[in-house]
Amino acid sequence: MTSAIEHADVLVLGLGPAGACAAAAAARAGARVIGVDRRVAPGVPVQCAEFVPTPLGSNVAALAANVRQSIAAMRTWVGDDPPDLTAPFPGQMLDRDAFDAALVRAAREAGADCRFDVPVRRLSAEPALSAGANRPEPRAVAHLADGAILAAKVIVGADGPRSLAGRAIGCVNAALVETRQVTVPLHAAHDATDIFLAPDIPGGYGWLFPKGECAHVGAGVDPVAKSRLKAIVARLHAMLVEQGRVGSEISALTGGAIPVGGMVGPVGAIGATPVLLAGDASGLANPVTGAGIASAVQSGTLAGEAAAAIVAGDTAAATDYAEELDALFGRSLERALERRRELAQAAARGVSKSALRRGWIAYPEYWAA
């Protein structure tokens, strides 16, 4: 190794909600934290429908300042049937870029060194760092695009569904949904999230999420249908324009992958360096709805606390972290995975409206045994 090595107690990869919360929690616990993100600025570009459930608001101070509008209900269309109303179904639509920026500010105020425009090329275990009786195995380092090298006692992987940290420890999100979303004018005030279920949106659903004077219109599908995704969203948009609900002008376009295979990891090691995965990197997005902001915030905070505890000598902290994630999310993830499997099996013979209802959270069938 020829480059100088910069050392930290905790290295956080990715500074979205999971990473920023991890950096803040570890720094508050007294750890020296470096967080890196390949993006130029927090939350940009926005790759999110920007809806969060109400319970998150009591735990995250950054949320209240960045809410664009409140949500009171959910309306679900199944094929050409009239919509079913689920009320109350409370939540908030937020400005995700401002929300992410606020979380990063909180991490910096806690003492974390948060750096953007810093791509990580690879993670490796370096024997050069293993000297001494207390380091019997190689330690992990992050090789940055500019040639710099970062080493840490613990790594938190919060770097999204195709996590570099996850790959390094053999914990990969194998199942993904591809999404596409357009932002358009909203012609009338609306306080519900609208969900569209249909056999021709395989492995996912369509949506309209209102956000003040605009709305997000989009869809998610299994990767095998990715080539049809643009047309699916265009048809949904055109239908809503014809109904007079939204305008035809598109002010923003986004998309990306969402993990839908359930929890991976969430703990491992590179050499002797513990690695904790959080948020989408650990597959915590709901496999049916794709919702992941709340679980990112919760898991990131827990990962940061666990990382600081490991640095302080708590040898059980990583195991405790994994057990806590399972207690928080395991049951809901397993139910959602079972519903995805049922829909996939039904697809071979044609997905019925009853199958679509059983596969969506608004219906009692979803929650039945």
Q: Where in the sequence is the domain holding 249, given as residue range(s)?
A: 51-94+176-260+339-367
- The lowest-confidence range among 195-199, 265-269, 349-353, 359-363 is 349-353
User: Which domain CATH number covers 37?
Assistant: 3.50.50.60
Q: What does the mean pLDDT of the chain come to?
A: 93
C-beta separation of 207 from 194 below 8 A: yes
Q: Where are the beta strands (DSSP E) in 212-355?
A: 214-221, 252-259, 267-270, 273-277
Q: Which residues pair with 137 in a beta bridge?
A: none
| pLDDT level of residue 233 (50, 70, 90 thresholds) | very high
179, 269, 330 from 170: Cα distances, Å = 25, 10, 20
Task: Assess whether 101 and 19 both reside in one domain.
Answer: yes
Query: Do 13 and 139 share a domain, yes or no?
Result: yes
Looking at residue 128, what is its pLDDT? 61
CATH of the domain at 214: 3.30.9
Does residue 187 register a pLDDT over 90?
A: yes
Same structural domain, 275 and 322? yes
Q: Is the pLDDT reported for residue 44 higher than 50?
A: yes
Provide the pLDDT for residue 58: 45
**pLDDT tens, position by position, 66-98:** 888 999 999 999 999 999 999 999 999 999 999
Looking at residue 53, its pLDDT comes to 80
Residue 54 — pLDDT band, cuts 50, 70, 90?
confident
Quick one: 192 and 272 in the same domain?
no
Any idea of the CA torsion for 38, 42, 46, 51, to the nearest 10 degrees? 130
SS3 323: helix
pLDDT in tens, 302-342: 999 999 999 999 999 999 999 999 999 999 999 999 999 99
Q: Is 57 in the same domain as 161?
A: no
